[in-house]
Structure 1
């Protein structure tokens, strides 16, 4: 058969056969096939079409073709593939049974080898979600995710931090990494892009510097500057995690076992032996109460013990956004402002960053217990964190001379003002997230929201509560309409809705 490269990025290894070819070869939809090209042999999943590909051709999605090294017209061989043994282990988990380490390892190996279809992976994730894994299974899943990817080998003391997420504006990695790196510790921060939020750490750092690197390039940057802030998706670190996330996203599930393994696998893969976990708790956060946060922290600490990673958890306030800015460019501006003039920005951003960095300094013995936050603030106040951050920006291809005003933001803006005198009683995390995304974030880097009033602030009628930024007038209009409907910043005494509407 001849290859026909399809100009579609699918994120999975599927091939498209003409209906008549599939019938003549006895292939059904979602069957597994072995694909051979130029000495390479991989497994793919069958899709069929009446007209997309001609008879005698095999459609290969653009990203799959690139990894296979195939071009349109190249000869391709296909044959039936055997059923992976891991299917039996997935069925076992569906039935509520406990999996052995070698069974979990087989599932993960088949995931990264693309031997399983999305439906089969989703079945495993659903089974893990409803028949929760015990700690032995989570440990086995973590180890399997590490072993099926690359690992970063660094000398010296390697540390890392992670946030459970769910709180908009949480750009603290841009402060924590340079504070810790300037204190003599190695912190290779691999970060994610936004999926459901207005900005991931990689999105925000990407405004200032390149974030796509190979593993050897990351090592060189960290060896020279003690730290980096890069996109983990460009590295082959715990690759099963990216596949799990892609499959579970449309299902809107987040299995506890996969979340635990995902976080710890990436920390183990970069060689971290000390990790601080930021667990925001509060209304609108992923964890709503202190008690739930403590239970989650205990689970991470136990998993870390099994993996020889010392885990400390910082339970932080997650009831409203961190700092004032939400959206990639706006957050980059606020982070750079905090590094340049820490006394002139939101105290919540500075203190949270110093507290998390301080826990890492205490965990590694750089400061005595209780002295970490003060030491981190000193590094920040003296400008050492700013200089280290600019070192990292430059090493990652950005401009060392960058200033806050150099960072472009959306030129379309709208101020949402208080309709009455009073106190701000609520800043709704999800409402702010939805408005910022409606404005275009994170795809349009200059879009987002800047808060001028947070919970507890006293405001007067006509005061600006928050400002919406967009790059296009149509997106601004969409965000304004949503803000009017959702009322993400609530002032006591304000009229929420008139019934009946005039």
Structure 2
């Protein structure tokens, strides 16, 4: 706390979405701005009762804010817990002591357990600016984190959030490293595993750069915003769940780090391992299965990179008491037919129902993963898990378990349908030789997904399939004509992302 007199301003909610970044707005002629020497992008601390928020300052010209006011972004408003017109104290925050450890890392020195714990606590408290976050992530990028540092970082990330404990000797979890549009295996896997009497409390993410995350797709079928007591009730009743991890505060700084890492386009194996395993440990898992799709446009590009990642995941898991198994899979193309929350949810339902039109690749991938988990749980002998998973799906037992989980989470929903659709046809005959996952995902996002949950695209042809001229390649779904046009225009500018190899003469 400052030793000088407390400076106060009236607080206003401005309704500005700055994502996870708390931002404050002050008029340039504000007496607090002048007396404290605040400038644009200064870090300031706001205090209201027991609540403290460190925010980035934006200086406002014009007359839309009074000189005795401070405006808050949505994230700052919710963290501060004030009411419109309340007085809040404003001053300089204390220096971020853990930045000295970050600077030492940049110069090549290892981070101790204590240093990483301090850094993570400061990030969780909002003391790091984006510049400081970028410095930390850059110092840890590539292969700069040792196994010991990754283990300590994972521990620290778990320590700042909630941690679940289950009164069961065996608790399973699964994760896919990502990069494949439509790869929505989780709801199917959870239903199969839970139907066999194994505990699998699954927390999932929303989309960050993709047209849908698992939580977005599951939300088309059931509520996913559950607090910890509600999540615990569902798992105790049904043995499994699929809920949004952001609502239960497990490893909360992970999303903060990912946001800046994405903006920097940094690829850090150590950060990825800490991100994945911290969430598994926080969810109370004893065993975890990690799927690593490998492909030219997947997140992991080649087999050597997958093997390095596998070694890190298994060894860090072992050090922290988590039994990790890695499954390396084909990541050359998208999975299923739908891309976008509602369209992926429809694929999930088709597989669970055993519908004739259900995408076979999604079904096979889900059975592969569910089978491995059942083997890890001792429900099937080595090599026998796939058959048990397939029998659970074919008998309708998995579908009944999924219905029970959805109802326990709140209700079973019917996914919405988009108002506008436009097919895209093959311009020549031949074999589909390549599909660029990144461009495919971009088309889905331009169509409006995930914000418009019914938007996205549905594939009409698969990798390796032969198509004729004017045969359907995919159909774009959108909620507005403008978004439909944006997606189609982008697809037209990148025709080779769905590459059809011409037949040899």
TM-score by length of 2: 0.92
Distance 1:315 1:48, change over 3 A: same
Equivalents in 1 of 2:476, 2:25: separation in Å?
44
**2:151 counterpart of 1:139:** yes
Distance 1:25 1:289, change over 3 A: closer
**2:34 counterpart of 1:23:** yes
Equivalents in 2 of 1:58, 1:431: separation in Å?
42
Instruction: Please point out which of 423, 426, 431 is paired with 1:423.
Output: 431
**2:472 counterpart of 1:464:** yes
Distance 1:97 1:459, change over 3 A: same
Distance 1:77 1:155, change over 3 A: same
Alignment partner of 1:177: what SS?
Answer: helix
Instruction: Please point out which of 5, 9, 16 is paired with 1:8.
Output: 16
- Which shows bigger deviation, 59-68 or 262-271? 59-68
Counterpart of 1:208 in structure 2 is 221
Where do 5+ consecutive residues of structure 1 fail to align?
Answer: 496-502
Provide the alpha-carbon RMSD of the alignment: 1.9
Counterpart of 2:4 in structure 1 is none
1:343 deviates by: 5.5
Instruction: Please point out which of 107, 114, 133 is paired with 2:126.
Output: 114
Instruction: Please point out which of 440, 451, 454 is paired with 2:448.
Output: 440
Distance 1:438 1:32, change over 3 A: closer
Contact 1:32 1:83 in 2 (8 A): no
Contact 1:419 1:494 in 2 (8 A): no
Counterpart of 1:310 in structure 2 is 323
**2:402 counterpart of 1:389:** yes
Equivalents in 2 of 1:329, 1:416: separation in Å?
20
Q: What does 1:317-466 correspond to in 2, within 5 Å?
A: 317-341=330-354, 344-399=357-412, 406-466=414-474
Counterpart of 1:292 in structure 2 is 305
Alignment partner of 1:3: what SS?
Answer: strand
Superposed CA offset, 1:198-248 (max 9, x none)? 111111111111111111111111111111111111121111112112223
Distance 1:465 1:98, change over 3 A: same
Alignment partner of 2:314: what SS?
Answer: helix
Instruction: Please point out which of 70, 84, 92 is paired with 2:96.
Output: 84
Contact 1:168 1:321 in 2 (8 A): yes
Contact 2:143 2:269 in 1 (8 A): no
Contact 2:43 2:55 in 1 (8 A): yes
Alignment partner of 1:161: what SS?
Answer: strand
Contact 1:30 1:117 in 2 (8 A): no
Q: What does 1:91-102 correspond to in 2, within 5 Å?
A: 91-102=103-114
Equivalents in 2 of 1:111, 1:335: separation in Å?
37
Contact 2:425 2:469 in 1 (8 A): yes
Counterpart of 2:70 in structure 1 is 58
Where do 5+ consecutive residues of structure 2 fail to align?
Answer: 1-7
Superposed CA offset, 1:134-161 (max 9, x none)? 1111111100000000111212221100
Distance 1:379 1:9, change over 3 A: same
Equivalents in 2 of 1:7, 1:347: separation in Å?
45
Contact 1:4 1:53 in 2 (8 A): no
Instruction: Please point out which of 48, 58, 80 is paired with 2:59.
Output: 48
Superposed CA offset, 1:237-263 (max 9, x none)? 111112112223322224222211111
